[in-house]
Structure 1
């Protein structure tokens, strides 16, 4: 009985620490309020062994057994970490060994290794029951070599002439070349464009998904994305479109947003963040310290790795650092700065891995829970405090790995302190930076800093982060003390219950 009540006590303690001003319910959710758990279907969880066709878990380039039912079975696990959306790699029928989903042979059929259309519909339905959104990869750049169109004499103009790309920074070459020898679709052909638009709208209407992630977005012409975006938004105004560039090239992110996409993953920014958080004593680049006062125009995506990059854990290990600690620090930043946290499956267990396919190892649900618990904690705070998703951003301090910034939204102020250095740090905030005469209440580690002479002196131990809310000064925190007393009383009741039960057993 007592064990079952522990989560209730923890919730009471957390709620008592959050000021009454904090908006506990944001009402109508915006996409910037979401947090996304990104899943490679084949490598996540095997929920239906009946579709384990040619599965070989020892072969990283073969199907490993993960499927749609496996994701359904783990929705509660994902939700328990605080994630509000999932993103799936392509589910379309693929060529042999197309475990990743990018060798499409039929745009209207679910790959037999993953399940059925009905199973996918059930997945979307179950996610929506939990108020979680579903994003699906939609492939537009190429098809499998074995796709029927490739051998169809009447569809030869559906593809660009076979040619490898030599200079990936040449946009025309990147758009027309056959990536990895895969037949490159000619989206400027009206028939091809219409086919892709029709297929995309069909999946949207048929399955009620909430958005598309668009792989190799920079290998497809901007003119196509303008038409694609317009067509999707016409069907569903809040349908989310996220471009995922090929990581090897630097692109103009703004041009794709101007074409109608809601956001595009910025791999240049991601690489910079990996350098900062894989080790200690690294300052945040100046371009990420500028004040941000309007979060309504464009949505940034905060991420460190994807299915096409080496795992961030690999960077940490190379620096001879402890993965759990470095991940906690990095996740605090990802979940508390403007943008949508986009977390690749396996982050929750600090999964290691190099380049493809080593970065796509199977998920392990029997791993140690410390990092999972931390993600749950930082997610819960992000979901409760609107300033962390909609607030302005201002960097207050940034020196060699010690950073402090504040977020403000409708009277709610949060201050985030991250010590990514090898020593304890002491930083004084003045009234120029933060309103005086109040107190900072720490929600991650329980720190409390009261204003003294209109200054706040923050002392943060190494490898520790704290997320504060600015609140009126209090004497004794009555709700907090009451919660502690309740824990003690219930524990004593529990002990009395055990003692009485033992006495009865002895008498009998």
Structure 2
């Protein structure tokens, strides 16, 4: 019987050699390789009812709702299946009774009891690492809670500044840290290094980076990178419309959120038949402005903004269709994608705190599959993470652009219009005698008469890889009759073996 099994394996080996391509060894990941899911701990998932003291589900604007580290750990497979490689948490520090968002810090060396213990956080990080996922959390540097011990300690009076007016409700009136003060700087840096040691976390996100002197960020980033050179630092300028983000990159913050591009992306995909040309114009400016434009991060919304779904609803659009176009652009453009929790259910909401309700996980399976598929595509194609970007066509929402990296060429087509579209791309922009193989919707476009004619249905999209034209697959063709021959031999041997066992038949 073992000899028969050898015969059976032959066609499978032939098929394997005909269709399988050798996978490259996995290289070390950099910030540019990540797909990030940003979440508010308290509003994601409740995994431990023992830490629910003070939870009030009737008051989501001011009270804790029960989310915790264990709840996140239980949803790691859910996040991994959608293609996310990094989880970005809201602040983990101990807060006062109104600090569900993590901004009202009262102790920089303790986790908030509502979120769980430091051992729970360590378990979350360890489990994420076992699934090849990274964990970051927001490290608060600009302010503390009104009940922090420093506010009543005369010796710390020079550590604080007067609060400023804030548009965000939970930041209003919070005491500000004087980040010009070297004692404050040293305290925060020492705390950051302690959390790195204690939790093995992979990075920090930093909000309001414009509120600190540049020298502090140089000092902060140098300290954490000396401890761990691959540690991620992501930063957000609260009002970044005209901010100079390059100086923060030069100071050592890897992933500064590209606020100007985020605003333009919201405008481009919250409605249909809207030009996306501004997105490519902004990218060309970024290439000139920034030392490493691809380490910038792009997001459509965050805990500080109105939900992007609200823009779609106000435009009388179906949110899932709009989100598909938006996410497809997010995952195929050069900057690091950040997705805010609840996007997968098209969560709606106005300004904070209305934008951060408790996650309900009543998901649309087809939409989840879409997110997972485009996420996997970005993970598998290095060109989508590191390649250059060149506009090939844009008109009223029909966008085609090219990404190139290390000899590979990918073409992205997004039809964010109400009509089916055909775009003719001259071979001079690609190569003569090649073909575009669809990797998302399995389309195939061959060059003809000096052009590649790309056809995309309304509100649909495709990612093409430029490749040699397909010829005859000789190993496959020759293997077909062999399969039948082997099958016949197997049936004959099986019949013969049966005859030996029952000679009276």
Q: TM-score, normalised by structure 2?
A: 0.85
CA shift in 2, pair 1:434/1:209, >3 Å: same
State which of 194, 201, 207 in structure 1 corresponds to 2:199. 207
Partner of 2:234: 242
Can you list the C-alpha shifts for 1:70-114, whole angstroms capped at 9, x where unaligned? 000000110111111110000100011100001000000000000
Q: Does the Cα contact within 8 Å between 2:389 and 2:403 map onto a contact in 1? A: yes
Aligned mates of 2:415, 2:454 — CA distance in 1: 11
State which of 269, 276, 279 in structure 2 corresponds to 1:277. 269
Partner of 1:197: 189
Which residues of 2 match residues 104-503 of structure 1 at below 5 A? 104-160=105-161, 162=162, 164=164, 180-247=172-239, 250-284=242-276, 285=278, 286-288=280-282, 290=284, 297-298=292-293, 299-475=295-471
Aligned mates of 1:414, 1:480 — CA distance in 2: 27
Aligned mates of 1:233, 1:314 — CA distance in 2: 39
Q: Does the Cα contact within 8 Å between 2:427 and 2:447 map onto a contact in 1? A: no
Mind listing any 5+ residue stretches in structure 2 that lack a counterpart? 1-15, 479-505
| CA displacement at 1:302 relative to structure 2 | 1.7
CA shift in 2, pair 1:17/1:267, >3 Å: farther
Aligned mates of 2:226, 2:152 — CA distance in 1: 34
CA shift in 2, pair 1:415/1:375, >3 Å: same
Give the SS at the match of 1:191: helix
Q: Structure 1 residue 43 and structure 2 residue 38: aligned?
A: no
| CA displacement at 1:220 relative to structure 2 | 1.7
Partner of 1:94: 95
| CA displacement at 1:306 relative to structure 2 | 0.5
CA shift in 2, pair 1:207/1:261, >3 Å: same
Aligned mates of 1:232, 1:402 — CA distance in 2: 44
Aligned mates of 2:438, 2:105 — CA distance in 1: 49
Partner of 1:7: none
Give the SS at the match of 2:304: coil
Aligned mates of 2:226, 2:196 — CA distance in 1: 12
| CA displacement at 1:138 relative to structure 2 | 0.3
**More moved, 89-98 vs 298-307:** 298-307
Aligned mates of 1:18, 1:345 — CA distance in 2: 38
CA shift in 2, pair 1:190/1:362, >3 Å: same
Can you list the C-alpha shifts for 1:476-502, whole angstroms capped at 9, x where unaligned? 6799999xxxxxxxxxxxxxxxxxxxx
Mind listing any 5+ residue stretches in structure 1 that lack a counterpart? 1-14, 169-177, 483-508
Give the SS at the match of 1:359: coil
**Aligned residues: CA RMSD:** 2.6
Aligned mates of 1:440, 1:83 — CA distance in 2: 27
CA shift in 2, pair 1:17/1:223, >3 Å: farther
Q: Highest CA radius of gyration, 1 or 2? A: 2
Aligned mates of 1:434, 1:40 — CA distance in 2: 44
Aligned mates of 1:236, 1:351 — CA distance in 2: 36
CA shift in 2, pair 1:408/1:321, >3 Å: same
CA shift in 2, pair 1:196/1:373, >3 Å: same
Aligned mates of 1:308, 1:479 — CA distance in 2: 57
Partner of 1:8: none
CA shift in 2, pair 1:296/1:256, >3 Å: closer
Q: Does the Cα contact within 8 Å between 1:419 and 1:425 map onto a contact in 2? A: yes
Q: Does the Cα contact within 8 Å between 1:392 and 1:408 map onto a contact in 2? A: yes
Q: Does the Cα contact within 8 Å between 1:24 and 1:385 map onto a contact in 2? A: no
Partner of 2:78: 77
Give the SS at the match of 1:328: helix
Partner of 1:28: 28
